[in-house]
Amino acid sequence: MSDQESPRVPPPSVSVAQLLEDPLLGVPLRVLAGRGGLQRLITHPRVQKSGLAMVGHLQGVSPTRLQVLGETELSYAESLSPEAQQRAARHLFSLGLSCVVITRGATPPPAFLEEADRTATPVVGAPARSSATITALHAVLDERLAPRARLHGVLVDVYGVGVLLSGKSGIGKSEAALELVMRGHRLVADDVVEADYRPPGAVYGQAAELLRHHLEVRGLGVLNVMDLYGVTAVRARIRIELVVALELWRAEAEYERLGLDVEACSILGVPVRRVTLPVRPGRNMSRIIEIAARSELLRQAGRNPVEDFVRRVEAASLGEAPSREELG
């Protein structure tokens, strides 16, 4: 599974009005000026401190990022003459900014508020200091503006590892997921997995709202897993740490025998370990998926049983006795 196979959804954005009403926002914001621009869009999760824009240095200012004016910037603005304040305000508000945030409960000079109203640029005030305000804004924007993609597959929590089952339609992904649920693991999403990126380098998955807790099994139809097996059989969201690609067994294909070759795929630019499992009658796929998840847990803990095995074989071929560490 690659980014080409799992197209991104349109880039997310949030309007200033939506931000002001967002229940995740951890700091109160009130509109000081520029109410005519509350539908302007914010498209970048990081904020900027744009004090240099007041002196005409506009390079690097991104209009669709929140601009923060704190104590330092306002102290500079208040030290200016009325004419210089008007020039600074024109420089700043000529950029078509999405929104300007004033921290510490301060009130900017009247020239700034007048220019904000004239250009319909929202100016909002926050009572907290700049660092606390920026932290709160980053938290909500990281959630609302995270890069996203829709993946075709089934996402299951197996021993706490987010396992994404991929493969062609009808290969048995949902049936394997149902058996995993019956073995005590948890369903996250079936068919459509909504994936989103979280810094510094993780991808999380959850079900589409209409499909949450549901699993389609051919011959039985759509099942509500939570109704059948209880709340412990489902999970709302999990980090995707392993992709298990299911494919029909092909006699001529070469499948991994030792596990030395580590395969990876890219989801939203994040490399995720991938294993390919051939499907054929009589093969218990759910148990093999469990073993794959256990192996991933060992790998995350710094253990690689395959490499240990190869070292023992090489030592035996050279007539060397294995060390205590190699014997486990």
**More confident position, 49 or 227:** 227
Least confident residue range of 17-26, 110-119, 195-204, 247-256: 247-256
Residue 254 burial class via C-beta count within 10 angstroms: exposed 0-12, middle 13-18, buried 19 and up: exposed
pLDDT band at 230 (very low <50, low <70, confident <90, very high): very high
Alpha helices in 163-282 (DSSP H): 173-182, 225-229
Asked if residue 111 and residue 24 are part of one domain, the reply reads yes
Output the domain CATH number for residue 42: 3.40.1390.20
For the cut 50, the answer to whether the pLDDT of residue 1 exceeds it is no
Give a yes or no: residue 310 inside a domain.
no
Res 308: pLDDT: 67
Catalytic annotation, residues: 152, 173, 191, 257
Which of residues 100, 116, 144 is at a domain's end? 144
Residue 312 lies in a domain: no
0.75 exceeded by the pTM? no
Note whether residue 175 is domain-resident: yes
Q: Are residues 41 and 111 in the same domain?
A: yes
Domain boundary among 117, 144, 171: 144
Which pLDDT tens digit goes with each residue over 98-146?
A: 999 999 999 999 999 999 999 999 999 999 999 999 999 999 999 899 8
**Long-range Cβ contacts of 103-109 (<8 Å, 24+ apart):** 103/68, 103/69, 103/70, 103/71, 103/128, 103/129, 103/130, 103/133, 104/70, 104/71, 104/128, 104/129, 104/130, 106/71, 106/74, 107/32, 108/32, 108/69, 108/74, 108/77, 109/77, 109/78, 109/80, 109/85
Same domain, 138 and 32: yes
Q: Is residue 159 part of a domain?
A: yes
For residues 308 and 302, the answer to whether their CB atoms sit within 8 Å is no
Tell which wins on pLDDT, 53 or 84: 84
Q: Within a domain: residue 323?
A: no
Residue written as token pair 């000079």: 109
- What radius of gyration do the chain's Cα atoms show? 27
Containing structural domain, residue 260: 148-302
